[in-house]
Structure 1
Amino acid sequence: MTPPTKRARTSSTSSETIAVDAITLSKLKQHESLWFEDGNIVLATDVHLYSVHRGVLARNSTFFKEMLELPNVGNTSISEVGSIGNGDSWEGKPLVRMVGDSDEDVYHILMAIYDSRFYRAQKPSTLPIILSLVRMSTKYDFPSIRDEVTSHLEPQYPTDLKLLKVRDSAHLVLDFKEEDDFQLLVVAEQCNVKAILPLLYLDCAALPLDDILSASEAVDLQRSSFLRILRGHEQLSKYTNQYGTLAFLPEQSCMRTCQSARIKLFAKYVKDPPKYAVHRLLLGNEPDDYENLRPSVCEICTKASSEALKAFQSEVWNAIPGMFELGTWEDYKRE
């Protein structure tokens, strides 16, 4: 049962401000699982009050360590330290207002530092938790949590072609959906999670144009990011056509049965190109066979096609960062 809320005691300021703040705080609920009776600091969102421990916050966050060392936390008139308001108290404990942070974000970061079972990089999590931890670990400098979330994300958006073949979104986010990439892209750019950006942009750009438009609008994507995705989408369309050309038309002249089969395969490919064609190329997959026409392709053309696709795979992979104005793969290896 949640204990009844109590009126906050604030230090001297205008009576009007005190009244408004007291009314606002009186509407907040003490969080059921993150209210420790032996806590010595209270964090306030627009929904909950969290009684936690100064030492735990300071040990995990450089920002909180420096902020909590200030002599006026909880003892001065309402002011701002970075994006955290301070100067109030609650039941004799300093009260810090988490200005600009959602209640969900504050809950997730506190759970991550208080409950070792809540989040681990090697276990699937939910997208809201991952986004919260990226935002909060960056904003308030929780280095160990940021490192852990980054190590969770990087294998799913690798900077090495060999690692692309072993990635599995099921190990990243529970019930992962294609449009989730756009939410992650917004946060990754805001928080400078640079390593995952090239593949993240690639995944976004590979969607059908209507899906790109609706997903971009849903997350209020920055115009510059949106234009990068559109330019990448256009380039991927060109690569998709080249993929089919190299797969089915490696030699212009050959025996009639082989040439006829390749022309039919190419025609069907152009009419209905596979979804994520460039991803298939990067994974080393050849286009699907249609109506069992592949056996009619001669050994010479099959070998020429495989060699051409392998070279094209390297070309496309090396072009990905530049496609989205993100430098080169060498830039990521140097970091």
Structure 2
Amino acid sequence: MMDSDSVYIPITDRKRHPRLWFDDGNIILATNLSLFRVHRGLLSMNSPVFADMLSMPQPGRLEDTVEDLPVVEINDDDTDFTHLLCFFYDHRYYQGGTMTTFEKISGLLRTSTKYQMDDLRNEVISHLALAYPSTCEGYLKAVDPNAAVPLFPPFLGQHFAVVALARETGASVLLPAALWRSMCMTSKEILDGVVDSNGTRYMLSPADIRRCILKKSQVYKRLVRMENMFTAMLKPQTCVNRRNLKGGKAIPACMEIAVSEVIIHFSNAAEETRDDHDMFQMGAFEAWRPLLCDGCRNGADSLLAGWRTDWWSSFPSAFELPEWGRLTDDNNISV
């Protein structure tokens, strides 16, 4: 049966796909737009769902034949299904870890999930996890502006799109990072959605909008507190730049530098209206870190690494998701 929301187009009016119409094919699959003459054996070999489906008599009207071959109507999106069939006939069509397009990777995730192609599904999820990982180290690499992530050309609204795709396909291991990166969009973009260069609007669901807006407020408050407290954690004994004040009290110069930079960071008028930065990266810290002596910088890096590890472990619960271990187990994948 076709999707009830689609306008029915008679079989005779649908176009034969130019690349997926094989003269020796023994079955015809039909989306709402296209006809594909393909091979039963290949379909069954790639997917247990196809193997079961094609082993049973197909319901339909007597006239649903083309060139004396049975026609099986498929209710998948035409573009998604085309990507899947292209992969069936050439597994080089999609290779995880190499640049592709969001259209292709999302279509393959939807169809591999539906047709129980676990290897392809896991490969696609692992590929998406390059930008939406389940580890703190992976996330810092993904958001590094100098790093090239071989995923797909970035586009406005991609974080929202990945959240929707992960929800739709049950790829929940992608959700914490995708929701966090969505939360780092501006408040207006979270509330209203965004439109890309092709005119496509991307929006979060109402529930995810609420989660991101609430979490954005909570995280910003926590970030300001951490940025201000962090300078006090520098240890005077590790600083080679300390100087003596009246009374002989040793004050680390690095701490003074850090405190000064934090004040400048949060008193900057431009920072008051900016709410699209990634708060996991701590902007004030990045400003004063290079100015420290080696001892203080190493100590600060160690403190930050511990803080980030603790905060990362709380990402799933922040968005009302299961803990990391369960997310990776549920997806049967390590990313």
Q: TM-score range by the shorter chain?
A: 0.7 to 0.9
- Distance change >3 Å, CA 289–CA 144, structure 1 → 2: same
Q: RMSD of the TM alignment (CA)?
A: 3.4
Paired position in structure 2 for 1:45:
31
User: Which TM-score applies when normalising by structure 2?
Assistant: 0.76
Alpha-carbon separation, structure 1, partners of 2:141 and 2:281: 13
Q: Following TM superposition, by how much is the alpha carbon of 1:30 offset from its aligned partner in structure 2, in angstroms?
A: 0.8
* Aligned pairs (5 A) from 1:61-100: 61-71=47-57, 73=58, 76-78=59-61, 88-99=64-75
Q: 1: distance between equivalents of 2:71 and 2:328?
A: 44
Amino acid at match of 1:65: A
Q: Is the 8 A contact 2:160 2:202 kept in 1?
A: yes
Give yes or no for contact 2:28–2:38 (8 Å, CA) kept in 1: yes
Aligned to 1:238: 221
Give CA-to-partner distance per residue, 1:56-86, whole Å, 9 cap, x none: 1111112111111112x2xx434xxxxxxx9
Q: Which residue of 1 aligns with 2:207?
A: 224
Mean Cα deviation higher: 264-273 or 299-308: 299-308
Secondary structure (helix, strand or coil) at the match of 2:37 reads: strand
Structure 2 residue aligned with 1:8: none
Structure 1: gaps spanning 5 or more residues: 1-19, 79-85
CA deviations 1:168-226 (Å, max 9, x no partner) are 78444331135212111111111111221111111111122122223379335322222
Structure 1 residue 311 corresponds to structure 2 residue 297: no
Report the CA distance shift for 1:312/1:50 in structure 2 as closer, same or farther (over 3 A).
Answer: same
* 2:279 paired residue number: 278
Correspondence for 1:10: none
277 and 136 in structure 1: CA distance in 2 versus 1, 3 angstrom threshold: closer
Read off the aligned partner of 1:122 and give its amino acid letter.
Answer: G
CA distance in 1, matches of 2:294, 2:79: 59
Task: Indicate whether 1:266 and 2:262 are aligned.
Answer: yes
The residue type equivalent to 2:281 in the other structure is: R
Structure 2: gaps (5+ residues) = 1-6, 196-200, 235-248, 331-335
Shift of 1:95: 0.7
In structure 2, what is the equivalent of residue 323 of structure 1?
A: 318
Please give the residue correspondences for 1:176-187 in structure 2 after superposition, counting only pairs within 5 Å: 176-177=154-155, 179-187=157-165
- Percent identity, aligned pairs only? 26
Residue 188, structure 1, aligned to residue 166, structure 2: yes
The residue matched to 1:136 in structure 2 has which SS? helix
One-letter identity of the residue aligned with 2:287: D
Cα distance between partner residues in 1 of 2:36 and 2:204: 32
Equivalent pair of 2:160/2:203 in contact (CA under 8 Å): no
Q: Deviations over 1:7-48 (max 9, x none)?
A: xxxxxxxxxxxxx97x72222111111111111111112221
Quote how far apart the aligned CAs of 1:111 are.
Answer: 0.8
Between the two structures, name the one with larger relative contact order (CA 8 Å, sep ≥ 6): 2
| Structure 1 Cα separation of the partners of residues 255 and 15 of structure 2 | 74
Give the 3-state SS of the residue equivalent to 1:231 in structure 2: helix
Q: CA deviation at 1:332?
A: 3.4
After superposition, where does 1:50-61 map in structure 2 within 5 Å? 50-61=36-47
